[in-house]
Every structure is written in structure tokens, then in C-alpha cells.
Structure 1
Amino acid sequence: MLAARQLRGTGIRIAHIGNALNAALGAQARLTMEECPDYRWLGGLPQPVARQWMASSRALVHMSQLEGGANVVIEAVWAQVPVLASRIDGNVGLLGGDYDGYFEVGNASALAGLMRRAYDDSSFMSRLKVQCAKREPLFAPVVEAMAVQRLLGDMLGLRAKGRT
């Protein structure tokens, strides 16, 4: 919401999807809507509706501070929607260490700058799309299933005993 305030008057429209984690954050979102006409907090939406919003968006912003890789990042990659993501281990694991769409956790100015760049610079957005497309095969269900099987095999010691 701090980045939204910094982007006021730029023409960048923000649709914020997700439930408020607490009452104070909900109040901040409502206040930001009043102060920033291009910011709209939609709250929690059914998954199909949220996917439609994402698919019609220029970019997805994933601002997680702590969690591992989020399904929404994978869904954005599948939908060919570039991701602007906080630089946390989960996002780096999904998008790769050399991905150009990261901002540092908690740095609203860096996020606002990245959003401005995404809005103004079509070559930057094209590069993010290419980078995401290169990661997409990693998220194919068969690849994920094989990775889980390898992990389980390693955990159970089956691979070392030649039983995989």
C-alpha cells in the first residue's frame, strides 16, 4: 500500500487481491483506496475469479516476506504474466537467481520503481516474460512428481540402495 501511494497519479492501476491478515491491514487498504484512486482492494476472491484477474493483468506482484514459493507465482508463469516478486528464498527458487523482477522485502520505493519500470518499459516486460517462460517447464506436473519421488527416495534411502 505504501508503493501504491508512491504511484499515485502515474496511471498505474493496482488490483489488490487477498484477505487482510488483520483488522489494521484491512483499515489501511480501505484508506489507501480513498487516497489513491488507482488502487483497489478486492479482498479475498474465489480462486477462478482471482485467476481471471491475474490473467488479464500486466504483471503480478508477489510481496511475501517469509513464505516459501507460492502457487500464485507458478500460476502467473503458466498464464504468461510476468512476476514482480520480493527477493525471498521461495521466489528465488521458483523464478531463478538471475530473474530481473525482484525487489527487496519491505522496500516500498524499490517496488514502486519496479512497477513504474514495468509500466513504462516494454523491453523490460518482454525480458521478464522470456525469463518466466524459461522457468515454466520446471512447473509441469510430471516434473514436479518426479522431483517429489526423488526427494522421497533420498529421504528413505532408496536411491542409495539402488531401489528407485
Structure 2
Amino acid sequence: MNADAETPPLRAAHIFLSMPVGGAEDLTVGLMSQMPPSISVIPICLRQLGPVGEEVRKTGREIHHLPVAPTKRLNLPGILRLSRWLREHRIRVVHTQVYHAHVYGVLAAWRAGIPAIIHHQKTYRDLKWRRTVIMRWLTRLAAAQITLSEKSRADICAAFKARPEEVFVLPNAVDTSRFRPAGDRAALRMGLGLPPHAFLVGTVASLTHPKNHAANLAMWAAARQSGVDGCFVLCGEGPLRDELARLRDSLGLQDSCQFLGNRRPVHPWMQALDLFVLCSTWEGQPLAILQAMACQIPVIASRIEGNVAALGADHPGLFSLEDPAEFPNRVLRCYKDPSFRQAILDYQQHRSPKVMSVGEAAVFLSRLYHQLASP
């Protein structure tokens, strides 16, 4: 009998408090289907499943709700309970991607004698002193860390006193089996209830302050006044929805600007666009830009560190946040000049950094999991 057939897969727990719509959650879901048979990725939610967790549960794939973190206060008995659960369920690697999951996951894994990976899904920013102290402590207990870039790797090593040989670089990954150019965009739009032949500009981003949606609305108002005949769509939810809806209405954009909320799956909405925009004031490594590039959609984005890292410093669609006219002018030029849109696409295809697929990330992580779990 084949010995490999008798070997059970290595069980890797991905720890979350909840699984809202986000890049870390999408990576875990993608890995669940694209890991080699020797690895099983198992999401564990410590507060509630969240929208993405509920999606996973409905598919029948393994996911667990272990309510050991009911509030924002650290629950020490909950960490002990999680540690026992990890041992009882034969978990061999713990993987965390957000701060509170780092705290619970790394401490529980350390107590259970299981290697833990701290995965930083954002570029490094200065933390409050308490979080810095905690992250330095967790760094000593974790077996490895993952960052988005070499710069983030250097920042993490310096800030948290991490050993360089234990810090690996893994860029954000896109499920290229779904995020790819649309076959028949008009038919796709009709199926989504969108105008089939309009100039369609859109973004995918939470309705929060760093995403700077007020600038999106100001851009669209200026573009409309300059003669752009089209629609603007915004996929995302967040605490600023009502405030932004009032701003939209005050600008007279009710008929040309739609707030679509969280759309799952999101890839058809991305494929439907003529132009993707992102005017954030801060980004880590923006997954939405990478998804747009994989769909071969031209991108207009603010010239901030994360966007420049994803697109390349000379990308023709980058604009300065310091000049309010640059953003609408870039969009207007895309509307009027097909050759400018093509120049953006050519740059993205030939000069922007390569977009990593979830399949490539799965190969990297499967090797790391096996390396850390080896006796």
C-alpha cells in the first residue's frame, strides 16, 4: 500500500476573531481549495464566524467557531481553552493574520507546543508602545513571520527585534482562476443589473476614513461636470455609509453613483469595470489593485507607498493627493482618450510588479508549514 496515502494531511489552523470581507479572509478561503493534498487549512473563529466564515460553513468545508474571545478584553482562560482545542484537533501549525488573532493564536500555540506564524497583512506603521511591547513578546514565541515586502521585512525586524532568518516575504496573492478578464463584459453587466455599454468607474474598499471616499465623490462630481457620461459604483461597507450617502446626494450624484455594499463574490463586479480607482490615504499592499490588474482593468490610484509598491513608481495612473484636480483629470483623460487607457494597461502588463496567484502562495506556504512542523 502507498505509504503517502496513509499519511494524514498536516492540519494548519488559521485563527481569526471573525471573518469579515477582507484580504486576509479571502487568502484563507483561496488556500483551502488550492493547497496540495498534504495540507488542510482550517479556519478557527474565536468570536463569530462573520460573513466570509458563514460562506465557508455553507460550502460544507471544515470551519470552527470557538467563542473564547467574546469581548475586546484579553481572556486568559480562553487562551488555555484554545490551546487544549489545538492539541485535541491535531493542529500542527497555527497561522494568524491580524493583531488580536496574533495574541490569542501565538500564545495558545506556544502553550500547546505548536509552531505559530505571524503574518503581517499591512506594511509596518508605528504602533502604540503597548502593542509594540506585545508584538516583541509574541515575536519571541512565534516560529516564523511573513511580511508583504523586503521593506516591511526590514521594518519588522527592526521594530520587533525579529531574527531575519525567521522572517519571510510573501506578497499579497490573487485568485487568478476568478480574477481574470471578462469574456463578454456587456452580458456580464446585464447579469449584474449594470448598464451594459456605459463608461463604468468603480472601486472596492471599506467605507472607512483611510479609503478617502469623499475624494471619490468629489472626483466623480468634477468628472460629471467635465462631461463624463457614465456611472460610478462602490463595493464595500463600513461605518461611514450614511455620511457618504448624504455627501453623494448633496453633490447631486444620486442617479450616477451607486453604493452596492459588500458583494460576494466580488470578482464579477471588478471584471465589469472600465476603470478601477483607489484614492486611499494609506494602504498596506492593496489587494483590490492587484485584483484589478489581474482582470486587466486600468487603475487610477493615489501616489502613496502601498499603491506605488503594487503598481510601480512610473505608473501613468498615479496621482497626488495634494492636488485635488489631478484625480478627476486622470479619470477624464481615461474617458476621452482610449490610447491613455491602453498605455496604463501596457504598463500594468509589462512594467508593474508581477501579481502573485493564490496557487503560488499555496506552494510557498505548504513548504513553510512542513518545514516548521517537522520534528
Alignment TM class, shorter chain as reference: 0.7 to 0.9
Among residues 132, 137, 146, which one is paired with 2:354 in the alignment? Answer: 137
| Comparing 57-66 and 104-113, the one that deviates more | 104-113
Distance in 1 (CA, whole Å) between partners of 2:253 and 2:320 is: 23
Shift of 1:143: 5.8
Structure 1 residues 71 and 41: alpha-carbon distance in aligned structure 2, compared to 1, 3 A threshold? same
1:86-97 matches, within 5 Å, as 86-97=302-313
1:119-134 matches, within 5 Å, as 119-134=335-350
- Structure 2 counterpart of 1:102, which letter? L
Structure 1 residues 144 and 103: alpha-carbon distance in aligned structure 2, compared to 1, 3 A threshold? farther
The answer for the alignment partner of 1:109 in structure 2 is 325
Tell me whether 1:118 sits opposite 2:321 in the alignment: no
Tell me whether 1:3 sits opposite 2:219 in the alignment: yes
Structure 1 residues 141 and 122: alpha-carbon distance in aligned structure 2, compared to 1, 3 A threshold? same
Structure of larger gyration radius: 2
TM-score by length of 2: 0.35
Structure 1 residues 144 and 86: alpha-carbon distance in aligned structure 2, compared to 1, 3 A threshold? farther
Distance in 2 (CA, whole Å) between partners of 1:92 and 1:12 is: 27
Shift of 1:45: 2.2
The answer for the alignment partner of 2:235 in structure 1 is 17
Distance in 1 (CA, whole Å) between partners of 2:237 and 2:231 is: 19
Shift of 1:142: 6.0
What is the aligned-residue identity percentage? Answer: 24
Shift of 1:56: 1.3
- Output one character per residue of 1:105-163: Cα deviation in whole Å (capped at 9) or x when no partner: 26442111000000011111111111111236342346657888xxx9xxxxxxxxxxx
TM-score by length of 1: 0.75
SS at the partner of 2:219? helix
Point out which structure has higher relative CO (alpha carbons under 8 A, 6+ apart): 1
Aligned positions, number = 147
SS at the partner of 1:94? helix
- Output one character per residue of 1:9-33: Cα deviation in whole Å (capped at 9) or x when no partner: 521321122225424233213434x
| Comparing 66-75 and 23-32, the one that deviates more | 23-32
Distance in 2 (CA, whole Å) between partners of 1:147 and 1:136 is: 18
- Contact residue 62 and residue 85 of structure 1 kept, 8 A: yes
The answer for the alignment partner of 1:26 in structure 2 is 245
- Contact residue 16 and residue 39 of structure 1 kept, 8 A: no
Among residues 73, 77, 84, which one is paired with 2:289 in the alignment? Answer: 73
Tell me whether 1:39 sits opposite 2:263 in the alignment: no
Structure 1: gaps spanning 5 or more residues: 153-164
Structure 2: gaps spanning 5 or more residues: 1-216, 369-375
Higher helix share: 1
- Output one character per residue of 1:36-70: Cα deviation in whole Å (capped at 9) or x when no partner: 3553132422232x322221111100111112221
